[in-house]
Structure 1
Amino acid sequence: IEKVLHEVMEVFYQPDSGLILENVKSDGSFSDSFEGRLLNPGHAIEAMWFIMDLSVRLQKPELAEKAVEIVLHTLEYGWDKEFDGIFYFLDIKGNPPQQLEWDQKLWWVHIETLISLIKGYALTKNEKCLTWFEKVHDYTWSHFADPEHGEWLGYLNRRGEVLLPLKGGKWKGCFHVPRGLYQVWKTLETLK
C-alpha cells in the first residue's frame, strides 16, 4: 500500500499544479509529450476517493486532506467554465490534447466526482467539497439521468447535449452508476 501511495501521491502528483498526470516516464519524471502532459480528471478524482478510504484504514487524516486538495484542484482545472461539466481529457500545459473526444462529458467522471466530494466533506469538513458536490450533482442529474426511461446516458458533447443515446455498451456497463450511488448514499448516512 505504501508503494502505491508513494507513486500516486508523489510521482504522478505534480505539486506545482496540484494535478495528477496520467503517465510519467519509467523513472517517474515528466515527459513533455502528448502522453506525458495528459490529464484525465475522472481518473485522478476517482483515485482520490480510494486514497481517502485508505486514509481512514491507515488512520492518516493528512492523506485525506491532500486527496481533497487534489480533487479541488482537478475540478478547478477540469470544469468547463463555458458549458459546465467536467472535461474527459486535458493537457497539463493547456495545449490541445491528442484525444479527439477530449471535451466530451462522460457519466462515470461525474459520478466518481460525487463520491470523492462527499467523502472529502465527510472526512475533512471542507465546505468547498459541499459547494462542488451541489454543483456537480445538479449538472449530473440534469444531464445524465433519464427520468423517462431510467438509467443514465453515458456520453454528452461539450454543450451537454446527448452525443450517444446508448445506455450500455463496450465501455458503459452496470458498474460506475450503482457503485457511485451506493458510495454516496452510505457516505451521506454517516453525516446524519
Structure 2
Amino acid sequence: MVYELRKKAEEELLNHIAPFWLKLIDNENGGFYGEVSYDLKINKESVKGGIQTSRILWFFSAAYCVTKNEEYKKAATHIYEFLRDKLFDKEFNGVYWMLDYKGNPSDTRKHIYCQAFAIYALSEYYKATADKEALDLAMNLFSLIESKGFNKENSAYLEEFDREWNITPNEMLSENGVIAEITTNTHLHVLEGYTTLYEVTKDSRVGERLKELIYTFYNKIYDKEEHYLKIFFDNKWNTIIDVKSYGHDIEASWLIDDAYKLLGLKDENIEKMIVDIAYKIKEQIQEDGSLINEAENGVKDFTRVWWVQVEAMIGYLNAYERTHDESLLKIIDKLMTYTMATMVDPREGGEWYWSIEADGKPTERSVIEPWKAPYHNGRFCLEFIKRIGE
C-alpha cells in the first residue's frame, strides 16, 4: 500500500500541481500571478502577497531538490529575484505583507509569520542553489525576528507591526472574533522556518532558538490532558477562546518532530506529545476518510479544507514511521482517496479547490489567492516521495 501512496503523490506533483503553477509565472512584472478565480480566470492585476510569494519560492526550490528538474530551479530563481527586489523593505528591513501586481508595496505592515515564511523559502532556495545571497537574507530575517519580534518577558514571539516595526493589533492572524497577542500559528511557522535555516547553517543561535520553540510548544501550547494544541492567547499565555484547529494540530506534530530529529534531541515527553497529538486527531476523521476543520466552543466546523487533508496525510505518515501502526496507513489511504476524488479540481486548467462544504460541494472561492500556493499540497507530495522512496 505504502508505495502506491507514494506513486499517487508523485503523479499529482509532476502531472498536475507543478505544471499548473508554471503557467502562472508573470514574465512582465515579476513573480507569479496572485489570483485564479473560482471559474479559473487568471487575474493578472491581482495583489502579490508576501506569504504567497515565499510559499511559491519554497515549493519550486524544494521540488528541484527532490526531482532535479531544471525548470523548477528556473522558476525558483524567477520568484526569488522578485522577493529579493520587491518584497524586502530596503529602508526599515523585513518583508512586506502585500504588493500590487507590479511589485509596489500596497500593505507595508510587517508580520512575524510572514518573515518566518521568507526564512523558510530562502533557506530552501539556498539548499537548491547554494546562493549565498539568499542565505544572508534568511539570516538577516532571523536576526530581525529575534531583535524585534521576540518578547523575552514571556518567551513568546510577537505578531504584527507597522512598516517601522511599531507593534500594532494582530488583525492579520487573529480569527474567531478575537484579537490574539500570541498565536500558535506564528510559533509553528517560526519553528518551521528555523528548522530549515538550521539544517543549512547549523548555526548555534538558530539551534538554541529552535530547541526553545519545541519546549514552548510542550510547556505553553500543548494541552497535556486533552492532547490538543491551544490556539489563541493573551500576553501571559492564557487561552482566550476555546478553539481546536485539527489541521494545525496534526501539522504541528510532524513539524515539531522534524525539528526534534534535526537537533538530535532525546526526550520521551516530546516524543509522546508528537504521537499523542496524531492519535487524538483520529477522533475527527470522518467516515468518508476526511478530516474536518475545527471546533469552537465545542461546535464543530465540518468544512473539509484543502490544506487540512494534506497535513493530516503527512502527520499520519510521520506517526506511522514512529509507531509502525498499520492502522495509520489505512487512515492515510482513505484520506488520499477522499482528497483525490473531491479536493483535486478535475476541470481543465484547475488545481485544487479551497475546500469542500459539509454538503459535499466545492466552496466557490478563488482557487488561488494570497493564502493559497503550492505549499501544502506540493509539500505533501514531496514528503511522500522523500519518506517512502522508490
Same fold (TM over 0.5): yes
Match of residue 73 from structure 1: 280
Preserved CA contact (<8 Å) 2:250 2:312 = yes
For residue 25 of structure 1, report the CA deviation from its aligned partner: 3.6
Provide, for residues 80-127 of structure 1, a one-character-per-residue CA deviation record: whole Å limited to 9, x for no partner.
Answer: 45x652222213x52x37xxxx33211111111111111221233233
What's the TM-score once normalised by structure 1's chain length? 0.80
Amino acid at match of 2:334: K
SS for the counterpart of 2:290 is coil
For residue 55 of structure 1, report the CA deviation from its aligned partner: 2.6
Change (3 A) 1:64 1:133: farther
SS for the counterpart of 2:352 is coil
For residue 79 of structure 1, report the CA deviation from its aligned partner: 2.9
Preserved CA contact (<8 Å) 2:231 2:239 = no
Indicate yes or no: 2:362 matched with 1:162.
yes
Match of residue 130 from structure 1: 329
Match of residue 317 from structure 2: 118
For residue 186 of structure 1, report the CA deviation from its aligned partner: 0.8
Q: 1:45 aligns with which of 246, 250, 270?
A: 250
Match of residue 20 from structure 1: 229
CA separation in 2, counterparts of 1:66 and 1:130? Answer: 20
Amino acid at match of 2:357: N
For residue 67 of structure 1, report the CA deviation from its aligned partner: 0.8
SS for the counterpart of 1:16 is coil
Preserved CA contact (<8 Å) 1:40 1:88 = yes
Change (3 A) 1:170 1:12: same
CA separation in 2, counterparts of 1:152 and 1:146? Answer: 5
Match of residue 185 from structure 1: 385
Indicate yes or no: 2:217 matched with 1:8.
yes
Change (3 A) 1:2 1:55: closer
Change (3 A) 1:24 1:165: closer
Provide, for residues 37-90 of structure 1, a one-character-per-residue CA deviation record: whole Å limited to 9, x for no partner.
Answer: 0111111111111111123213337434421220220231x3345x65222221
Tell me how many residue pairs correspond in the alignment. Answer: 178
Higher Rg of the two aligned structures: 2
Match of residue 63 from structure 2: none
Change (3 A) 1:65 1:165: same
What's the TM-score once normalised by structure 2's chain length? 0.42
Match of residue 262 from structure 2: 57
Amino acid at match of 1:103: F
SS for the counterpart of 1:160 is coil
Gaps in structure 2 of 5+ consecutive residues: 1-209
Preserved CA contact (<8 Å) 1:154 1:166 = yes
For residue 136 of structure 1, report the CA deviation from its aligned partner: 1.4
Provide, for residues 109-164 of structure 1, a one-character-per-residue CA deviation record: whole Å limited to 9, x for no partner.
Answer: 11111111112212332334223212211211111113453522222101332122
SS for the counterpart of 1:19 is coil
Change (3 A) 1:188 1:70: same
SS for the counterpart of 1:169 is coil
Question: Percent identity at matched positions?
Answer: 22
Gaps in structure 1 of 5+ consecutive residues: none
Across the aligned residues of Structure 1 and Structure 2, the Cα RMSD in angstroms comes to 2.4
Amino acid at match of 1:144: M
Preserved CA contact (<8 Å) 2:317 2:329 = yes
Preserved CA contact (<8 Å) 1:13 1:20 = yes
Change (3 A) 1:28 1:65: same
